[in-house]
Structure 1
Amino acid sequence: MRLRKKWWARPELEADSRVITKPSIKKGNWSEEFGNSNPIHLELGCGRGKFITEKALEFPNINFIAVDLKDEVLIYVLKKLKENEITNVRIIPMNIGFIADVFEENEISKLYINFCNPWPKERHKKRRLTHTNFLNLYKGFIKPNTEIWFKTDDIGLFDESQEYFKESGFELKFVTYDLHKSDFKDNIMTEYETKFTGLGMKTMFLIGKLL
């Protein structure tokens, strides 16, 4: 669905200190940005922010970074942070393809990828956020033994992502083709997940751990 352009969104984002519009200058210094040495968890493709907001409220001693491209989406994330007076989240408006420019080695302790674009055409598969190309990028800034939590409703993406993870040196610690009927207890639903689960969608989920 095409988002209507919100010309006022960028000035409002830039006016809030939780929004980092030049993230590359923070590379290697994210602990200083948060003012503490707490672990930093990263969500790639945060949508309107339900997931990251609930995570931040549940775990106040963890720092979170939410990344997405569109100001029209991120303005809703900022609204949630303001409403809940959340200070342990930073928002980065950027193309995820440049994510390696933002973090130094061992800066990230956990990574979340929720319902990313499945890019089903063969010529586009390298754009998948779980493709080996991206997983190898993440290895440049995640700590040893870091977990990547990945959710999707696309079975082709899910099946092939399992191979991507194994090819890239990750152990599959947990795999389910129906998350909501599994014994996994720590799920937080995204806006997309909440809407389409009610319409009968099955959520597939895996945890890959860097060896």
Structure 2
Amino acid sequence: MTDVVGIPGTVCSPAVFDPVAALVPGVRAVSWMTAPGPWTVPAVAERVARELTAPVVLVGHSTGGAIATTLAAAHPDLVVGLVLVDTGAHMRRHGDVDAIIDRFAAQWGREALSAVLDRSFATPPPADVHADLLAYAEAVPSAAGVEVLRSQRDLDLTDVLPTIACPAAVVHGVHDRARSAAEAEELAALLPDAELFWAECGHTPVFEAPGVVAAAIRSVLDRAS
């Protein structure tokens, strides 16, 4: 059985992958933000790669998508499939990233983190789930949030994506307030072997629409076999 490794977005708990793990055997998510730095996208990609003992399917959500793409390009022998969830080739259309970085640098804490979490869902998660997600975010070092977003802001994967030959899927929540449908279409067009999946949800389909993400993973696994 091929393992499926989930890479969450910035300040996002690995627990957001639990609904997908309930549907697809072998799914596990990494907590890259609570591990020691550095927290640039390439550095995190290399740390995740070092933990892999066999080829996997990577599922990258948001910032995790940039990490997964970077890892897949650098280590094609370790990645048999790639699923990118509500992310993009670059952040040029992510208009508020500088404002988020500035707020994280100046006002890291419950209010700033809660605002980022709240806009990650089209429908708020249950109160107990929100509390758990916020508690995870508060345990993340502020330097991690600032460093990785600066790194992602300055990263353009437009020329990297066409070099990734493994089967891929792009999943996009149509009510995402951070990333546009056009960004998902661009991402799918740049990948040589990608299928595009739409989900009736916000920025976090791994939690909000796990059935769609599970279908994308199964599609990649089928094409990789």
TM-score normalised over the length of structure 2:
0.28
Relative to its length, the structure with more helix (as a share) is: 2
TM-score (norm 1): 0.29
Structure label with greater radius of gyration: 1
More strand by share: 1
